[in-house]
């Protein structure tokens, strides 16, 4: 999944979700996660940010009105897998999608106290362990990473997010994520001897996430650097119109994501749309043919323009 900058896009989108949580007030953890996901989706950056926001919305929607138990969490992760893998027109294994897939397959531990916090935390530990294995596996699963000793930045980001969730549920507060497990508390940075060769590879991938994963994902897409631009926008559509937009964008572009954000009224919903195209105007023309795009951002994907984002004034589209 080519991206202008996988790590930066994911961090920016997670930041939007975190900011939303600070101002939302609800005792329902599912509703809180769902609303945070909607806020993130409305301002999602790149493939990685968009897929994370889609996953967060699905997890939250599944948990709404339910207590946070191991069974409920497992079902929410399954919902997240279905939504995330179906959102993208050309999903690529070895990325954050593999983490999402593998954590959804984790079985709830048999326990004498079903529904207890202890069982939930035990399950979350298994989920984080599965995520870590998926991250390490991205080195071989994503073709362009084979033999590089590096991992996918989006997959690594999901591991950190999941471990932060586990820490919060356990009341551990902030601290080093699971990839630093085993390092002395007073060490400035873990070494390969302290944490193992595999974890050291994770640390190296963090330092070079943008360059390494941009090259890896471009290789997975066909061996050449991604060119053109990424266009993301919010537009009001019915489900049928959204399907038409998805089809038309697939005809002219790549990495198409269409996901509902929230219902407006009746059959009309707010949708977040993402696509990679050679000509930004072609994508905007498709969107304008079905509605009025808002919150439109265009980001360069080629090496010279990668990461450079411009906003499109809605008045210029009317």
Here the CATH number for the domain that contains residue 253 is 3.30.70
What does the DSSP 8-state code read for residue 113? S
Tokens standing for 306?
A: 């990668």
Residue 138 sits in a domain of what CATH number? 1.25.40.340
For 214-223, the pLDDT digits (tens) are 454 444 444 4
Q: Is residue 206 situated within a structural domain? A: no
Q: Is residue 317 situated within a structural domain? A: no
> Of all helices (H) and strands (E), which one includes residue 292?
none
* 30 lies in the same domain as 109: yes
Regions in the chain scoring below 70 on pLDDT = 1-5, 111-112, 142-149, 173-226, 303-318
What local confidence, expressed as pLDDT, does residue 45 receive? 86
What local confidence, expressed as pLDDT, does residue 173 receive? 63
For 127-176, the pLDDT digits (tens) are 999 999 998 888 777 666 666 667 788 888 899 899 888 888 888 765 55
* 250 lies in the same domain as 136: no
Sign of CA dihedral 27, 28, 32, 35: negative
* 173 lies in the same domain as 248: no
Q: Is residue 185 situated within a structural domain? A: no
- Specify the pTM: 0.76
What local confidence, expressed as pLDDT, does residue 181 receive? 39
* 143 lies in the same domain as 55: yes
> Of all helices (H) and strands (E), which one includes residue 257?
strand 254-265
40 C-beta neighbours (distance < 10 Å), count: 29
User: Which residue in the block uniquely carries the two structure tokens 């991250």?
Assistant: 135
What local confidence, expressed as pLDDT, does residue 1 receive? 42
* 268 lies in the same domain as 147: no
Total number of domains in the chain = 2
DSSP 53-72: HHHHHHHHHHHTTS---HHH
* 237 lies in the same domain as 167: no
Who contacts 23 (Cβ-Cβ below 8 Å, separation ≥6)? Answer: none
What local confidence, expressed as pLDDT, does residue 207 receive? 52
What local confidence, expressed as pLDDT, does residue 90 receive? 81
Whole-number Å distance between alpha carbons of 150 and 137: 10
Q: Is residue 273 situated within a structural domain? A: yes
Q: Give me the domain span that covers residue 251.
A: 229-311
Who contacts 206 (Cβ-Cβ below 8 Å, separation ≥6)? Answer: 153, 156
């Amino acid at each position: 999944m080519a991206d202008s900058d996988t790590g930066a896009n994911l961090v920016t989108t997670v930041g939007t979700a975190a900011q939303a949580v600070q101002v939302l007030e609800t005792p329902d953890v599912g509703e809180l996660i769902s609303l945070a996901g909607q806020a993130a989706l409305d301002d999602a950056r790149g493939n990685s940010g968009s897929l994370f926001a889609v996953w967060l919305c699905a997890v939250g929607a599944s948990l709404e009105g339910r207590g946070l138990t191991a069974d409920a969490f497992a079902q929410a992760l399954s919902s997240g897998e279905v939504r995330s893998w179906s959102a993208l027109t050309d999903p690529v294994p070895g990325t954050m999608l593999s983490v999402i897939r593998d954590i959804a397959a984790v079985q709830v531990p048999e326990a004498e106290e079903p529904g207890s916090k202890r069982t939930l935390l035990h399950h979350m530990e298994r989920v984080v362990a599965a995520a870590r294995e998926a991250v390490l596996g991205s080195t071989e699963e994503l073709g362009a990473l084979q033999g590089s000793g590096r991992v996918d930045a989006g997959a690594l980001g999901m591991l950190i997010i999941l471990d932060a969730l586990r820490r919060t549920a356990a009341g551990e507060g902030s601290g080093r994520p699971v990839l630093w497990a085993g390092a002395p508390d007073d060490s400035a940075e873990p070494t390969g001897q302290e944490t193992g060769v595999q974890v050291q590879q994770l640390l190296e991938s963090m330092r070079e996430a943008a360059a390494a994963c941009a090259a890896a994902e471009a290789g997975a897409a066909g061996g050449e650097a991604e060119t053109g631009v990424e266009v993301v926008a919010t537009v009001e559509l019915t489900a049928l119109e959204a399907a038409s937009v998805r089809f038309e964008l697939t005809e002219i572009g790549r990495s198409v994501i269409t996901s509902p954000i929230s219902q407006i009224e009746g059959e009309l919903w707010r949708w977040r749309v993402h696509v990679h195209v050679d000509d930004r105007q072609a994508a905007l023309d498709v969107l304008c043919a079905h509605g009025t795009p808002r919150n439109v951002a265009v980001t360069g994907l080629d090496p010279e323009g990668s990461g450079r984002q411009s906003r499109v004034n809605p008045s210029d589209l009317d």
